Homo-oligomer: A and B are copies of this chain.
Amino acid sequence: MSNSEFQQVTESATETVNSHNPYGPNPADYLSNVNSFQLIDSTLREGEQFANAFFDTEKKIEIAKALDDFGVDYIELTSPVASEQSRSDCEAICKLGLKAKILTHIRCHMDDAKVAVETGVDGVDVVIGTSKFLRQYSHGKDMNYIAKSAIEVIEFVKSKGIEIRFSSEDSFRSDLVDLLNIYKTVDKIGVNRVGIADTVGCANPRQVYELMRTLKTVVSCDVECHFHNDTGCAIANAYTALEGGAKLIDVAVLGIGERNGITPLGGLMARMIVAAPEYVKSKYKLHKIRDIENLVAEAVEVNIPFNNPITGFCAFTHKAGIHAKAILANPSTYEILDPHDFGLKRYIHFANRLTGWNAIKSRVDQLNLNMSDNQIKEVTNKIKKLGDIRPLNIDDVDSIIKDFHSEITTPQLQSLRNSGVDDDVTAFDIAQPPVKKAKTDQ
């Protein structure tokens, strides 16, 4: 094929990189809350249902204070009827005088509601299963019974001057007409918000978006969403829910909850800072994420997952030579998140066989050594050869660089070098043939 067949591309070389934010809210999403969402942290409710969780009163208070300091809008607590201690802990947290509003989460039943309104909470989240699965195998009630209970509970809680949310459970396996019918009913009697819950983690993003759009044509109140992570979509589903008009997202620190949990606080922040950087940075203390995650991880005896967004040990580590080269020129080339926004640092992983001479040049500069580009390319080849044989650490690389530097700057060693004696390679016992044409930037 001749070049004349290729349609020439017009280059606008002067156009500024990143002149707008292509990851911001989609202008077509006229109900989007991507720029105005709120967080309901449920570490002390959903999170208590995590297999390893046992929070004593002191730990609950410590976590609640940390979340409040971070800036979550609501803190949701286990039902006061779950156990005596749950009730007294709920009362104790309500007395802390936090900025965040305190919620408790109960079944849609007057017995529970009567206890909940006496705890001092700012709001009550009621939930009832609406899917055929749950109606058949859990509570055994029909939709008419559900509606009657909902009305009774909502009117009772409202009469006490307390916020009330009504949520279905397992919303994505519930009949759409049933759902819209019950939400329309509770919206009419003045519920503060309705909740959609992907209780089993089955929903996919476009399904979530469509349901939000439909629901927002039926209710005028705010919509809250709760997504489980069984199929790995809890962050994405939260994002598309906001695009579709949801206002509040349930999160937990590290996502802890039933099974493998729900939308994680940190992971959602990673998603949202890309879409709404000013809003997120002004509202939430992002540099506290690491401490909050460590606090909760220790309390429930888990490690921060190696691949956790933001705080995973390698979230800001760049390894391949071609990546390192560009990152050194401009971090935005291979980073959509800036580690400094979270009080963290990036790290160029240069001690490996995929390294490139730009990464090694950066290390040479850090070591304050003076070497030409050709010399750096030569020492990079030595490093890659050793990296082919075994894992390298920083000390290995530094030793090779320093030995090489001595060699090129010490007159005596320089003459040895020129006579062909290859001391630092044999020093590492490399049995490989010399690399003929080593590539540095793959």
Partner-B contacts on A (CB < 8 A): 1, 3, 5-9, 11, 13, 15, 17-18, 22-23, 26, 48-52, 54, 78-79, 81-86, 106-107, 111-112, 129, 132-134, 136-138, 142-144, 147-148, 151, 155, 170, 172-173, 177-178, 181-182, 184-185, 188-189, 199-207, 209, 229-233, 235-237, 239-240, 243, 254-256, 258-261, 264, 267-268, 270-271, 274-275, 302-303, 305-309, 312-320, 322-323, 325-326, 329-330, 332-337, 349, 352-354, 384-385, 387-391, 432-433, 435, 438-439, 441-442
CA distance A309 to B323 in the complex (A): 29
Q: Is the CB of B137 within 8 A of A172?
A: no
Residue numbers in B under 8 Å from A256 (CB-CB): 307
- CA A180 to CA B212, docked complex, whole Å: 32
Q: How far is the CB of A413 from chain B (nearest CB, A)?
A: 26
16 extra interchain contacts, Cβ-Cβ under 8 A, other than A79-B439, A133-B333, A231-B309? A11-B143, A17-B133, A26-B206, A52-B306, A85-B388, A106-B442, A134-B326, A138-B326, A138-B329, A205-B206, A229-B309, A231-B235, A258-B334, A259-B317, A260-B308, A260-B309
Note all chain B residues with C-beta closer than 8 A to A142. Answer: 9, 11, 13
Which chain B residues border A334 with CB–CB below 8 Å? Answer: 199-200, 258-259
Q: Are A258 and B320 in contact (CB under 8 A)?
A: yes
Taken together, the copies of this chain in the complex come to: 2
Of B79, B200, B354, which is within 8 A of A49 by CB? B354
Among candidates B106, B336, B354, residue contacting A78 with C-beta atoms closer than 8 Å: B354
In angstroms, Cα B439 to Cα A17, docked, is: 59
Is A136's CB under 8 angstroms from B17's CB?
yes
* Chain B nearest CB, measured from A200 CB (Å): 4
Q: Which residue on B lies nearest to A29, using beta carbons?
A: B206
